[in-house]
Structure 1
Amino acid sequence: MSDPSPLPPPTTTRPYQRQIILGSTSIYRAELLGRLRLPFLCERPEVDESPYPGEAPSAIARRLALAKAHAVAQRFPDAVVIGSDQVADLAGMPLGKPGTHERAVAQLQRMRGHTVVFHTAVAVVCVSSGFEEVDLAPVSVLFRDLDDADIQHYLQTEQPYDCAGSAKSEGLGIALLERIDSDDPTSLVGLPLIRTCRMLRAAGVRIL
């Protein structure tokens, strides 16, 4: 009598899942989403990010996160699309990406010694299933009372001109800060992963 055929090795293949798309070309958001070890694509959302007159910083972030997700979801209706946006808020005044050294200097000079709220919004949309959700993950950041030499040295070293608030907290920018208060620790970098995981699960994506 021959030996029974060996059992096949256990499989870790995931059940069918919708394609996941990050509606962003931000390397920071892509790195964060990559921590979930899910396959995903990145697509540029092509959204006008200009704020409306008198629009509050938190409202800007929520509106743009949802607009980015919708812009990409219209092109990929069967995919689960993630959109995100971040707006820095200094006493109700929105601060965007500086773009230049001079603007970054001006931003950090205004923020030193003050608390800045970074409003990071995330939206998840799937057109074909009718799923849509958006949430906000604010982070309160107290900046040290920096002198001009500190500001110049930091900016010349890290050149964070593509970051809202002119600082990379995941890099040398942490040295500018006195305190961070948040319930979603990756929010300050650009994508609140706790909220993102919750929304993906609600949209039918299996993460674990």
Structure 2
Amino acid sequence: MQIAFTAPRDREYARRLVRRSDRRQLFWSGYVAAAFVVFGAGSVITSDGGALGSGMGSVAVGACLAVGLLRGVSRSVNRLPEEWFEPRTYDITDDRVAWQSVHAGSSISWGLIERVEETRFAFLLWQKGGLPAWDLPLEAMTEAQREELREFVRRRSAPPPASQPAPQGDKPATQPGTGSLRPPAPGER
């Protein structure tokens, strides 16, 4: 496999990437904020005056948490160095994924990638241990390149046929059933 493309990186792409990689934290924090607002609103509505202060306080805490969530994504993006936004040239082969920009470059072996997730804006490559490792912007890839990468990921994550032992030496990038390409959920498209 040989896929090569150049992709721009802007602040909106960075925001989408931060929101996607911090999805669990954002979900639970949003859930807590919503619970405070709902509890507080319920207290205010049903109060005969005694719980009015605590209800309004609960709504205020929930609103502050929600604003903090929104500002947290912006702060994360604002902390990125300007070099992060330089266009990157990607080179994807059977052995590794590499990128190069004017000021930096890096590569990672497929053996260090635990799973690949396709979102509506990028393929996300996750390192073993659950750390986000790489993003491959979809907009810069042709449909043929996307399909070639999807097929490569499927082949790497498929268990070996029962009649053949697992390959020795270079371990597959994923454990069977855990690293296959996951299509975007309905809300992610």
Q: TM-score higher than 0.5 here? A: no
TM-score (norm 2): 0.25
Instruction: Say which one has the larger Rg.
Output: 2
TM-score (norm 1): 0.23
